[in-house]
Structure 1
Amino acid sequence: MDITQRIALALRSVVCHPDHNEAKIREFFSPDYQQIVDGQTLDFTGFVEHMARLKHLTHAIDVTVVAIAGQNNNVLTHHRVAVSKKDGTQAHIDVFAHFTLENGLITRCEELTRLVQGIAQDRSLGSVR
C-alpha cells in the first residue's frame, strides 16, 4: 500500500467510522502525532479527544477525496467532509491537508478548512474537543 492509499484508508477507518475507537486511531497515528487545524494545535491525546467529541456530536461523517498526491513521506489532500449531526443539522466542509508519515504512521497533519454549509459554530468541527 502506498502512502496515498494509507491516508485514504485512515480517513475512512478513523474519521468515517461511526464509533470512537482509540485502538483504530493508534493503527494509523503516531503517539507523537501533532495536528494543526486553522491555527489550533492538537497533540495525540487532543486528537483522540477530538475524535471522541466528533463521534458524540455526529451520527455520520462522509469523506470524499477530491485530489490526493504523495511524495516521499508527504501526502497532500483536498477532501470534502459531509457531517450529519445528532441534532438533525448538517455541515459540509472543504479540507486542504498536508500529512507527514514516518514508518507507516501519520506524525503530523496541517489543515485548512472552509465551511461550505452549516452554522457558524460548525467552523470548529475540525478541532472541537
Structure 2
Amino acid sequence: MSNTAIALVRELFECALLRPELDEARLAQLVHPEYRQQADGRSLDYADFVKHLRHLKQACGRVGLEILSWAEQGERVFTRHLVAADKRDGSQVRMLVIAEFRVRDGRVVACDELTHMLAGTGEDRDLGSRH
C-alpha cells in the first residue's frame, strides 16, 4: 500500500465495506484507537464504529462503493462517494456520502460525514451510523 492518506482511506473502504467479512485485526491496523466519527449528527468512538460495521455486515449482503471525487491535503482526505447495498431482506439502499477523514500516525483517527439516502426505506436513513 502506498502511504498517502487517500490510499489509507481506500484501504479502509475495502476492509470496512467491500469485503464480505469484517477483518477486525486489519481494521485495528487502519483505524486509530482514539477514532471518532460524526455521522449525521451522531458520535461514534472506535468501539461504536466496530459495532456499526458488524451491524452493516449482518444487514447487508453486497456493498458497492464508487468514489465520485476526492481531495487530499496532507493528512486530510475529502470524499464524495456513492454506497449501494443489497440488504439481506432483499431491499436495496443507495447513499451519497460526503466525508472528511483525518489521518494521524498512519491510521485514520477521525471521520466527519453527511449521508443522503438516494434509495431505500425511511428506516434505513440512519444506516450510515446505526450500531
- The TM-score range, normalised by the shorter chain, is over 0.9
Q: AA paired with 1:22?
A: E
**Counterparts of 1:128 and 1:87, CA distance in 2:** 17
What is the aligned-residue identity percentage?
A: 31
1:90 is displaced (CA, Å) by 0.3
**Counterparts of 2:11 and 2:92, CA distance in 1:** 24
Match of 1:71 in 2: 73
Match of 2:105 in 1: 103
Q: What pairs with 1:1-129 in structure 2 (closer than 5 Å)?
A: 1=2, 2-129=4-131
Secondary structure at the aligned position of 2:53 is classed as: helix
**Counterparts of 1:21 and 1:119, CA distance in 2:** 29
Q: AA paired with 1:127?
A: S
Structure 2: gaps (5+ residues): none
* TM-score where L is the length of structure 2: 0.95
**Counterparts of 2:125 and 2:78, CA distance in 1:** 21
Which contiguous aligned blocks of 4+ residues in structure 1 show a shift greater than 6 angstroms? none
* TM-score where L is the length of structure 1: 0.97
**Counterparts of 1:69 and 1:48, CA distance in 2:** 26
Q: AA paired with 1:106?
A: V
Secondary structure at the aligned position of 2:125 is classed as: helix
**Counterparts of 1:72 and 1:57, CA distance in 2:** 35
Q: AA paired with 2:9?
A: I
Structure 1: gaps (5+ residues): none
Cα deviations across residues 22-70 of structure 1 (Å, max 9, x unaligned)? 1121121000000000000000000000000110111111111001111
Aligned residue pairs, count: 129
